[in-house]
Structure 1
Amino acid sequence: MKKTLLRGVVAGAAATGMVLPLAALPAFGEAPAGTQVQLLNITDFHGRIAETGHEVASVVERERAAFDGETVFVTAGDDIGASTYASSSQEDKPTMDVLNALGVDSASVGNHEFDRGYDDLRDRVGPATDFANVGANVYKAGTTEIADGVDPYTIVEQGDVRIGVIGAVTEDTAQLVSPGGIEDIEFGDPVTGINAAAEELEALPDDEKPDLTVLAAHLGPASVSDLDSALGSNEEFNSVVTGADPSIDAMFFGHSHLQANFAAPVPGEDGRTRPVVQSGNYGDTVGKVTLTNEGEGDWAVDEQELLDTADQTFDTPVVDEVDAIVADAVEKSQEIGSEVVGTIDEDITRAFSEDGSEDRGAESQLGNLVADALKEGVEMSQLDEADFGMTNPGGLRTDLLVDDIFGDEEPGEVTVGELNAVLPFANDHGVVTLTGADVIQLIEEQWQPDGASRSFLHMGISDELDVVYDSDAERGEHVVSVEVDGEPIDPNAEYRVATLSFLASGGDNFAAFEKGEFQQSGLTDFEIWENYFESRDVVEGDPQERQADFALDVIRTEDLEASFTYEGGEEIEVEQGGDVGLTFMTEAARDIEGPFDLALELPDGFSADLAGVEDAFTAANATTVESAVLDAIAEGSTESELTVAAGDDVATGEHTVTATLVADPEHAWWDDSPLPVSRSLDLTVTVTDAQPGEDGDDNGSDGGDGDEDSEGGGDDGRDDDNGDDGDNGGDGGGSGDDGRDDEARDDDSGDLPRTGAELGGILGLAAALVAAGGAALAASRKRGKGL
């Protein structure tokens, strides 16, 4: 059947910003009663032509052939962008060819349609597609005039029926794409744009009005268990479902990659509902709504369902054409991407929730590895070296798996195509110079603004950075400590941060990047990424976290108290050639799995004997060495004895012995508590002259317990309250008592806490233990040195 398109301009209501009344009468044209229309939809296809192109074509063609009426096929955005390599290797031209072959009638713009910038959508994508790209809330910058190359709506004529299709995109798009690519446009409130488009459709002459109106909006719910939970999960989705003009007969959504199939009340019309459908993602599902015209603009919903495309096949010339396009694209991409550029011997992945879905609020080995590559990649350019690298989790689109095979490579070999699938956006690479205070703000901005699609975005950071944050803190006060190459960050000093153009322009609400000038290296993130693999025999992920949550510290959750005590007076004293006994004590509310490293950093001429630790804990290598590995800390009270000895030639006077207890840095902690955050404890040991006639084994004191810095002490009673007196600041930015009564964790599984911050807290000696010869500790991340 002949099909014509009429594309709107929305010059009236949108230009004045007027909000339309919900009681507007539905527009209707001249289709006779009894006319049937079938609406088919996909969303968030993301160029999955090689994975589901044949299946989507088969389902669409099958439904067209089986339906005794007119069919309209619309998409709800993100057809391109973040695509797999068969499409992305050719700038998504194969996906556009597939959609043309499928006879798509209208496509809402999604945020990923702007990945390469507005100019690309207007000048390349639009002319390459046979359908309208619709977005009623995409305006020229500073106006409410629809941007060039985007239509607020389109009217599809099929036989005797005209179908109006209004498009919209989430207002969050401004934070989801590189700001530099959308300087000429802006994204407004979806409801205002949708209702303005509906009003213009209402105002058309009778012989041009649509018989029914459909909305395809690239925004969606975060929960889909039922309509109420969906409405409550996302304010923007709620506002569209409950506030879009009653003339809209069916609504398709996208963006959140979930499947939804509801009937929602039409505002202002008692008893009338309209379909609210979201067709999942990646072409796995085709949404279907069929309606029958009852006359006078009324349409009855006959069916609404989600059709699974898995293993579906159907034989028509359209399916054959799609198959040919896909085969050609795959062949070309295999030629482009089959080159082996590196090797991995273990999977390197994004972070995932327990249900298997991607978790952008958690740290990942892959994100940190990309940050490492960004930092190192500066050396490929004319730019001065960077201090560290940072990247965003949303830029990681798949994982690197040993058993994934792109072409004919061996397991573990990594190809160009596999690398491109991880970083498909072709961001510009470069360096932003920021102050230390700006860097702290960047880390704070991981907590996203109110109303953002995700409340927390966990940045990937390179190995030079060590971060401790407190997720329980007030907004603006989450960052506990930041170290660069093991030294506390200087708020007033300048640091060179390797990153992507997306972030450098303030993308994902990381606005602090905009405080510095972005120096481009002339390379893309993918070129940097590829070189990182080419320059190594084997690429490995780092099994230790680089950011840790101090809120989960086992001391703060009252799961553990730990201390060192000693026999002596106000000072720990030892004669030259003698030794002093120390007691390491733990009080655990539950069994806490290890292993941990108990380590003593000794001054020159000192030695230690940790053999007694083995008697109290299940420990390895606890001999006359400076560290011992504890397999676990048992529930209840445990004490172990150790000694510190001063050599004959040690100078008299005060010396500092530093004790730490951290997760064993050689253990791959990633799944349980990967990052040890330690609190170091400094013990002041005073060495005196050996007295004639004495063997040096007596430390010369029979007094009560004292403290390590010669200020007070003597009380041999121990206050078991684990409250923090605020004196645990210091190296690495310790955190004082925040005034909260931290409740004990109710997890009795015996596993270590989810983050290494809890591990580090194990030696976070409570200030209350100072009276018994202990000391407050500074919270910081200490990884691997001497442990």
Structure 2
Amino acid sequence: MIVSKRIAAVAAAVGLAVTGLAGTAAAAPAASTDLRLIAFNDFHGNLQPPAGSSGRVVLSNGTTVDAGGAAYLATHIAQLRGQVKNSLVLSGGDNIGASPLTSALFHDEPTIDFLNQVGVSASVIGNHELDEGYQELLRMQFGGCHPTDGCQFEKPFRGAKFPFVASNITFDNGLPAALPVTIKFVDNVPVAIIGVTLHDLPSVVTPEAIKGLKFGDEVQALNKTSRLLDLAGIRTQVVLMHQGDSTEGGGPDDCRTLPGPARDIATRASASIDVFLTGHSHQQYNCVVTDPAGNPRPLIQGASFGRLLSVVDLKINKRTGDVDRSATVAHNEVVTRTVTPDPTVQALVDKAVTLSGPIANRQVGTITADLTRTASPAGETPLGDVIADAQLAGTQGNQAVIAMTNPGGIRTDLVYATSPAGEGNGVVTYGEAFAVQPFSNIMQTITLTGAQLKNTLEQQWQASGTKFLQISSSLHYSWSQSATQGNRVSNITVNGTPVDPAGAYRVSVNNFLAAGGDGFAELKNGTNLAGGPVDLDAFTAYLTAHPNLAPPASDRVTVLP
């Protein structure tokens, strides 16, 4: 492989990585070459097949199919790669973080090993890649033992064989904090994989984890990188973007996206970009958008947890390096569990399950039915209610009268059916509870006035969408569907007594929310902060103290016209 001086010069300028993808020279070279992109997003360490709704894909007709699991994902990737000469496996970020115990107990090292095994060529940096801070992300990239826990899964941990890329992350001094792009060669044609993460990442990560980092505008970063690639003569440009849209339902290949940040970025960014592979929102869609020059390009996302693979087939002119957009074909493939699981990956998963088993399989409680994240029309969920009640119980020593938690911190359903470990129906294990609350956030109790409490509840309606806080049984309120922003919430009571705007109320939230996370800036104004238990510890203690726990009634929030 010969890299032109022009490409080498631009590579040095932007600090990108240049590697090759094997392609044999034919006696009579074809005018074009085919490239298949195989991507997944928001894997979150789900090495085992995820349970409940997290392990199902909704099809266009409303039926569901069980999907996901690393060994099945590996088989589907191998099958897709076997159908074409050239392929690249890519990740849309959040490979790690918010992971089940099987991966998280070992600081997600098993997940990085899995990504190496399936041949991932590049991954964008998602917000959860930074959950444990920038230095831990560097360890994921380059390897080495954890500074506190040492090497427990591998000795030593060797790190990712692929680059993490993000064109819009810099240090405070403006210098790049990550590779903006990596270059792969396909039959001697350069293909650029540009990374970009969400500009609003600071709103979904604790401030301490991203201290010293800045997150720039997505379109500006993409355009800057794309221009440099244009100067280098690199015409095939693919974006891995950790930002996504919400949808109005539909199957894996439907396009029912609501107006959102991913579509906005994909329609405004450089016309030289050929594909947008997205993530972050855990949605499934397969769309075509129009670039600033009026040409089509795919915008696609594959749900989460390894349930779907986003497949984009490109035809590239070997002389010019340009993609024939009219020949691009994209689809989302369901990672069914009817295929033979990949034995090498299965061995890795089995190792992680075995090593984590003594902790993961310990019983912490029992339930009488599924506790799900399925929301009522008012925004309440059975599992959210239970977790908020648990957090209130766990902070009674702080004189808490209310607890509230963010829905994004509740990662999966708590299901009644036994897991593959065979603990029995209704038994909740520590591993299952950990999968629900994996962040190890610290509970904090603050004092809010009644007016500040109302302002906090009003902040559930945001420009990016509605984020309903899950609340303890001590708090009740109504909200109006027709009211204007800032005036939706009424009839707030605490333990049956109307809230006094000037009164003082002890409110328990996790440290992420207390720092204003998820857009709840009013919580930063709380006073008299007192620390509490880890949210997971509060949850498991509550489950232990309430055997045969049933789903609570959804009566804490009332919807008005």
Q: Same fold (TM over 0.5)?
A: yes
Alignment counterpart, residue 479 of structure 2, candidates 452, 469, 479:
469
Give yes or no for the alignment of 1:490 onto 2:500: yes
Shift of 1:423: 0.8
Question: Taking structure 1 as reference, are residues 196 and 547 closer, same or farther at Cα in structure 2, changes over 3 Å only?
Answer: same
Counterpart amino acid of residue 375 in structure 1: L
Give yes or no for the alignment of 1:435 onto 2:459: no
Give yes or no for the alignment of 1:222 onto 2:246: yes
CA displacement 1:395-435 (0-9 Å, x = unmatched): 11222232243623232221101111111121122212222
Q: What is the rounded CA distance, in whole Å, between the counterparts of 2:311 and 2:214 in structure 1? A: 32
Question: Taking structure 1 as reference, are residues 110 and 480 closer, same or farther at Cα in structure 2, changes over 3 Å only?
Answer: same
Question: Taking structure 1 as reference, are residues 286 and 470 closer, same or farther at Cα in structure 2, changes over 3 Å only?
Answer: closer
Alignment counterpart, residue 271 of structure 2, candidates 243, 246, 250:
246
Give 3-state SS (helix, strand or coil) of 2:398's partner.
coil
Q: What is the rounded CA distance, in whole Å, between the counterparts of 2:331 and 2:485 in structure 1? A: 43
User: How do 1:106-125 and structure 2 match up within 5 A?
Assistant: 106-124=122-140
- Contact 2:388-2:472 within 8 A present in 1 as well: yes
Shift of 1:159: 5.4
Give yes or no for the alignment of 1:536 onto 2:539: no
CA displacement 1:5-43 (0-9 Å, x = unmatched): 99968769xxxxxxxxxxxxxxxxx99843332221112
Counterpart amino acid of residue 167 in structure 2: A
Tell me the equivalent position of 2:223. 195
Tell me the equivalent position of 2:331. 305
Tell me the equivalent position of 2:120. 104
Higher share in helix = 2
The CA RMSD measured in Å over matched residues stands at 3.2
Question: Taking structure 1 as reference, are residues 232 and 328 closer, same or farther at Cα in structure 2, changes over 3 Å only?
Answer: closer
Question: Taking structure 1 as reference, are residues 432 and 248 closer, same or farther at Cα in structure 2, changes over 3 Å only?
Answer: same
Alignment counterpart, residue 356 of structure 2, candidates 328, 333, 338:
333
Counterpart amino acid of residue 227 in structure 2: E
Q: What is the rounded CA distance, in whole Å, between the counterparts of 2:328 and 2:406 in structure 1? A: 44
Alignment counterpart, residue 35 of structure 1, candidates 33, 36, 43:
33
Counterpart amino acid of residue 441 in structure 1: N
Flag structure 1 segments of 5+ consecutive residues without an equivalent: 13-29, 354-358, 553-787
Alignment counterpart, residue 369 of structure 2, candidates 346, 349, 354:
346
Alignment counterpart, residue 280 of structure 2, candidates 255, 264, 278:
255
Tell me the equivalent position of 2:48. 50
CA displacement 1:471-517 (0-9 Å, x = unmatched): 33222222222222222223223322111011111111111110025
Give yes or no for the alignment of 1:234 onto 2:278: no
Q: TM-score, normalised by structure 1?
A: 0.59
Tell me the equivalent position of 1:710. none
CA displacement 1:578-630 (0-9 Å, x = unmatched): xxxxxxxxxxxxxxxxxxxxxxxxxxxxxxxxxxxxxxxxxxxxxxxxxxxxx
Question: Taking structure 1 as reference, are residues 305 and 465 closer, same or farther at Cα in structure 2, changes over 3 Å only?
Answer: closer
Shift of 1:231: 9.1
Tell me the equivalent position of 1:702. none
Question: Taking structure 1 as reference, are residues 126 and 117 closer, same or farther at Cα in structure 2, changes over 3 Å only?
Answer: same
Q: What is the rounded CA distance, in whole Å, between the counterparts of 1:274 and 1:543 in structure 2? A: 46
Give 3-state SS (helix, strand or coil) of 1:105's partner.
strand
Tell me the equivalent position of 1:559. none
- Contact 2:366-2:547 within 8 A present in 1 as well: yes
- Contact 1:116-1:181 within 8 A present in 2 as well: yes
- Contact 2:35-2:186 within 8 A present in 1 as well: no
Give 3-state SS (helix, strand or coil) of 1:411's partner.
coil
Shift of 1:135: 1.5
Counterpart amino acid of residue 494 in structure 1: A
Counterpart amino acid of residue 529 in structure 1: F
Give 3-state SS (helix, strand or coil) of 2:95's partner.
coil
Shift of 1:241: 2.0
Alignment counterpart, residue 76 of structure 2, candidates 37, 44, 59:
59
Give yes or no for the alignment of 1:413 onto 2:417: no
Give 3-state SS (helix, strand or coil) of 1:403's partner.
coil
Question: Taking structure 1 as reference, are residues 405 and 74 closer, same or farther at Cα in structure 2, changes over 3 Å only?
Answer: closer
Give 3-state SS (helix, strand or coil) of 2:356's partner.
helix
**Bigger Rg, which one:** 1
Counterpart amino acid of residue 390 in structure 2: A
Shift of 1:106: 0.5
Q: What is the rounded CA distance, in whole Å, between the counterparts of 1:306 and 1:459 in structure 2? A: 32
Of the structure 1 ranges 425-434 and 405-414, higher mean CA displacement relative to structure 2 is found in 405-414
| Matched residue count | 506
- Contact 1:10-1:152 within 8 A present in 2 as well: no
Q: What is the rounded CA distance, in whole Å, between the counterparts of 1:231 and 1:468 in structure 2? A: 30
Give yes or no for the alignment of 1:212 onto 2:236: yes
Give yes or no for the alignment of 1:169 onto 2:197: yes
Q: What is the rounded CA distance, in whole Å, between the counterparts of 1:532 and 1:402 in structure 2? A: 17
Q: What is the rounded CA distance, in whole Å, between the counterparts of 1:114 and 1:389 in structure 2? A: 27
Give yes or no for the alignment of 1:369 onto 2:386: yes
Question: Taking structure 1 as reference, are residues 527 and 233 closer, same or farther at Cα in structure 2, changes over 3 Å only?
Answer: same
Shift of 1:518: 7.4
Shift of 1:101: 1.1
Give 3-state SS (helix, strand or coil) of 2:415's partner.
coil
Give yes or no for the alignment of 1:501 onto 2:511: yes
- Contact 2:313-2:328 within 8 A present in 1 as well: yes
Question: Taking structure 1 as reference, are residues 104 and 518 closer, same or farther at Cα in structure 2, changes over 3 Å only?
Answer: farther
Flag structure 2 segments of 5+ consecutive residues without an equivalent: 16-24, 50-68, 144-158
Question: Taking structure 1 as reference, are residues 408 and 520 closer, same or farther at Cα in structure 2, changes over 3 Å only?
Answer: farther
Question: Taking structure 1 as reference, are residues 277 and 473 closer, same or farther at Cα in structure 2, changes over 3 Å only?
Answer: closer
- Contact 1:106-1:133 within 8 A present in 2 as well: yes
Shift of 1:170: 2.4
Q: What is the rounded CA distance, in whole Å, between the counterparts of 2:448 and 2:304 in structure 1? A: 38
Q: What is the rounded CA distance, in whole Å, between the counterparts of 2:370 and 2:517 in structure 1? A: 28
Counterpart amino acid of residue 39 in structure 2: N
Alignment counterpart, residue 424 of structure 1, candidates 411, 423, 438:
438
Q: What is the rounded CA distance, in whole Å, between the counterparts of 1:465 and 1:57 in structure 2? A: 46
Tell me the equivalent position of 1:392. 406
Bigger relative CO (Cα 8 Å, ≥ 6 apart): 2
Tell me the equivalent position of 1:547. 557
- Contact 1:218-1:253 within 8 A present in 2 as well: yes
Give yes or no for the alignment of 1:85 onto 2:116: no
Question: Taking structure 1 as reference, are residues 341 and 125 closer, same or farther at Cα in structure 2, changes over 3 Å only?
Answer: farther
Shift of 1:302: 5.5
Tell me the equivalent position of 1:444. 458
- Contact 2:180-2:225 within 8 A present in 1 as well: yes
Question: Taking structure 1 as reference, are residues 493 and 165 closer, same or farther at Cα in structure 2, changes over 3 Å only?
Answer: same
- Contact 1:231-1:238 within 8 A present in 2 as well: no
Q: TM-score, normalised by structure 2?
A: 0.82
Counterpart amino acid of residue 160 in structure 2: T
Give yes or no for the alignment of 1:516 onto 2:532: no
Question: Taking structure 1 as reference, are residues 8 and 418 closer, same or farther at Cα in structure 2, changes over 3 Å only?
Answer: farther
Shift of 1:262: 3.6
Alignment counterpart, residue 490 of structure 2, candidates 480, 483, 486:
480
Q: What is the rounded CA distance, in whole Å, between the counterparts of 1:376 and 1:505 in structure 2? A: 22
CA displacement 1:189-221 (0-9 Å, x = unmatched): 2111111111222344xxxx5462211112223
Shift of 1:151: 1.9
Q: What is the rounded CA distance, in whole Å, between the counterparts of 1:62 and 1:145 in structure 2? A: 41
Counterpart amino acid of residue 500 in structure 1: N
Shift of 1:125: 5.5
CA displacement 1:109-163 (0-9 Å, x = unmatched): 223223334443244456422211112222334x6543x2x22111124552332
Tell me the equivalent position of 1:183. 211
Counterpart amino acid of residue 292 in structure 1: K
